[in-house]
Amino acid sequence: MEQLTKYRTVDKLTEGFYKEKNSKFIAYAIACYSENDVKNNLDIWRKKHPQAGHLCYAYRLGLEGAKYRANDDGEPSNSAGAPILGQIDSFNLTNVLIGVVRYYGGVNLGVGGLITAYRSVAKDAIENGEIVELEVHQWFTITFNYEDMPHVMNFLKKQNIPISEKKFEIDCELKIELPLSISDHICSTLLSYSSLKMNDLGIY
């Protein structure tokens, strides 16, 4: 299978709103890259809406979207989480979380009404924001001695490779991110420096 080099997600936190028979549904869509990110955002939304009856959600993570979950949070089975996840999939998104807060309006909507509500508000949140296609990056830490430092730094600068962390102690250590589309080429050149070692931190 060919390695993906790009993926689609939401650009920034966006909101959606839907009202049916006095029940109010507020959706939040945000880019997420781990289950810890998911937990932290859900905690924020729960604290923001302490009086809400439900916080239903769905997420899909990873380049292939292999890690996912749909949660009904007390609503009838598959009436909330599944419709939210369905909207994530219909827009071909990954690394995204959508949470929907519901304030009950005193009138039961039935399973069909709930499915429509959660699907509609999730779609509204996505459409109120911007979908972006992002380059997949491979992250490394590289270590090398001071003799190789001018050559390594010059090469990274010429290739416009961002350096997110630097340590200059006994050896030099950098944390870098390489676009997956050119990662092999960059790694091959870096490893040509005799003292340089690379530690693969993963793809995301």
What 13-16 contacts at long range (C-beta under 8 Å, 24+ apart), as own/partner pairs, is 13/129, 14/125, 14/126, 14/128, 14/129, 15/125, 15/128, 16/121, 16/122, 16/123, 16/124, 16/125, 16/126, 16/127, 16/128
Amino acid (1-letter code) at residue 117: A
Domains and CATH numbers, the chain: 6-133 (3.30.230.30), 136-203 (3.30.70.1150)
Number of H helices, E strands in the chain: 5, 11
Beta strands at 137-144 and 172-179: parallel, antiparallel or unpaired: antiparallel
Q: Cα 87 from chain centroid?
A: 16
Residues 101 and 25: beta-carbon distance below 8 Å: yes
What residues does 142 pair with on adjacent strands?
174, 198
What's the confidence (pLDDT) of residue 3?
61
What's the confidence (pLDDT) of residue 65?
83
Q: What is the mean pLDDT of each run of 10 residues along the chain (204 residues)?
A: 77 96 97 93 97 96 90 96 98 97 94 98 97 91 96 95 92 93 92 95 78
**pTM of the full predicted structure?**
0.79
- Number of Cβ within 10 Å of residue 104's Cβ equals 14
